[in-house]
Each structure stands twice: as structure tokens, then as C-alpha cells.
Amino acid sequence: MSTETSHRSPAAKEAGKTDSRDGFSPEQVKTLSSALNPLLADFFALYLKTKNFHWHMSGPHFRDYHLLLDEQADQIFKVTDDIAERVRKIGGETIRSIGQIARLQRIADNDYEFVPPHGMLEELAADNKALAESLRKAHEVASEANDYATTSLIEVWIDEAERRAWFLFESTR
């Protein structure tokens, strides 16, 4: 980084952040980022909860559930980079810390020492349904901004969340 760049005033640095990318106004960038960053926090929270349940799974269906949750966690984690990069691509700022994730997440943590396998699957199914609903709301925001790339990505993520919820639900029957 050049000395000139690193010593710019905060106002000058802020002015650099408002450059429109992909044709979005600064207000659209703010609105889109405000819709996507809580989703990013939710994906991180759901990833960690899914891994938590994967690590603490027990019972007669251990292997099947353990593998299912590992597969789902991998899918969830892959989305985090896509969301963060989309926010940056449109010119926004994204999550920088675990603390920020905690402030933005809407998926509740589960710190219980023991959760029965059936309870784990039911909770994750409900979380994936809630995530799909949050994705639909973010889709509306992106659609209003004519952000076709984001709406396209979100449509895939909705399908994946619904599929995870379906697999989890069917595993509890």
C-alpha cells in the first residue's frame, strides 16, 4: 500500500467506498449489503450448529445422521464465501468478526450439553426453513434493486435450504 493511500483521511477513504460498481447507487449498495450480511451471519451460525450436532451425534442412526450433517455443513459453508464476495463485488462492506456475526445472526445458537438426535434434526430442519424464508426476503430486496446476479444466487440457496429441511424432516419420520 502506498503512503499516499494509507494516510488518506477517513472522509477520503469513505468517498472511495461510495464508487458504484455494477451500476448500483450507493443507497442500493447499502440496502443490498444490509440484506446480505445478516444472511451471511445466519449461514455461519447454521454451519456451526450443524457441525456441533454432527460432532455430538449419537444413537442407533449415528453413521447416517453424522454423514448427513457433515454433507449439509459443507454445503452451508460453501455459500458463505459466495455471499461475502457478492457484497464486496457490488461495493459493500461485509462481516469482519465473530462478534459481528453474533450481532447479526437470526439463527439461534444451541449450547446445550446434550440434544437427542431427533431433536437435533428437528431443530436443524426448522432453522433451514427459517433460513429459506430469510432468503426469500433478501430476494425481494435484490429484485427491487434489479440485482439479477444476487437474485439468481439466492434462488439456488433457497432450493438448497428447502432440500436440507426436507432431508432432515424425512429423517425424523
pLDDT tens readout for residues 22-49: 789 999 999 999 999 999 999 999 999 9
CATH number of domain containing 90: 1.20.1260.10
- Residue 111 within a domain: yes
- Residue 87 within a domain: yes
Give residue 19's pLDDT.
Answer: 52
Long-range own/partner contacts, residues 81-89 (CB < 8 A, 24 or more apart): 82/153, 83/36, 83/39, 83/40, 83/43, 84/40, 86/36, 86/149, 86/150, 86/153, 87/32, 87/33, 87/36, 87/37, 87/40, 89/21, 89/22
Give residue 173's pLDDT.
Answer: 92
Number of domains in the chain: 1
- Residue 31 within a domain: yes
- Residue 5 within a domain: no
- Residue 1 within a domain: no
pLDDT beneath 50, residues of the chain: 1-9, 11-13, 15-18
- Residue 10 within a domain: no
- Residue 14 within a domain: no
Give residue 133's pLDDT.
Answer: 98
Task: Measure Cα distances from 97 to 93, 108, 132 in Å.
Answer: 12, 17, 24
- Residue 50 within a domain: yes
157: containing domain: 23-171
